[in-house]
Amino acid sequence: MNDLKTNLLSALFFTASLMAFAQVGIGTTNPKAALDVVSANSGFLMPRVVDHTALIMSADQIGMQVYNTTTNSVWVYNGTIWEDLLDTSAIDAAIATNTATITTNAAAITTNTAAIATIAAGVTPVGTVITSFSISAPSGYLAADGSTFNAATYPELNTALGGNILPDLRGMFLRGKNNGRIDGLQDPDGERSLGNYQADVFKLHKHGIRQREV
């Protein structure tokens, strides 16, 4: 009796083991999943329905898939509603929205770039001379010390100065160009060229004093 009981328990355990680890293979003797279909010349044909919405579904059937022959698309049940796996309308709408946003932003960037260039050109023209109470030149400026600069780095300044040599204004007073002034206050030296240097004309001299008797 004990042997029969032992054999009966062993058979039950063996059967339970087969049920727990059972895998079905179609076209293969070594299935890698609960259902493993292997074929080199055929495919998988899922259930086909005329109207998937006519199916009575429950939440525990989440993931069920059918092919609707009316819409010619695959539908999957997400536990609440059916979703068309071939429906790209949401993706297309998102792409259209993003494309429109990119176009708008690109136009704004172009506009802002033009505005910045206009402001930059109008604020301080290239070649402007300023005075600054600092040892080194401010950002965006070069010291007017007669040194040379890289024409490739500062092409506009090279054009404005007619070369890559900075004027040397160390210890100098700036003098405005006459530009045709003839009102009696014009430059006594006439039309001097731009950047022209005038040497010191105030030399050592004496003044005489006449004394008168009172």
* Selection from 87, 26, 77, 24 nearest residue 47 by Cα: 77
Q: Residues 45, 51, 54, 59: what is their CA dihedral angle, to the nearest 10 degrees?
A: 50
pLDDT of residue 150: 94
Percent of the chain past pLDDT 70, that is, above it, reads 86
Quick check: 167 pLDDT over 60?
yes
> With 0-12 CB in 10 A as exposed, 13-18 as middle and 19+ as buried, what is 171?
exposed
- Distinct helix (H) and strand (E) counts, the chain: 3, 6
Q: What is the mean pLDDT of the chain?
A: 82
Q: What share of the chain is helix, strand, coil (3-state, %, to 5)?
A: 30, 10, 55
| Interval 84-119: pLDDT, tens | 987 878 788 889 899 999 999 998 998 888 877 777
Q: Using CA atoms, how far apart are residues 75 and 54, in angstroms rounded to an integer?
A: 13
Most distant pair of Cα atoms in the chain: their distance: 166
| Interval 181-205: pLDDT, tens | 888 888 888 888 877 777 776 667 7
Q: Which domains does the chain have, with CATH numbers?
A: 20-89 (no CATH), 125-172 (3.90.1340.10)
Q: Using CA atoms, how far apart are residues 53 and 33, in angstroms rounded to an integer?
A: 30
pLDDT of residue 62: 92
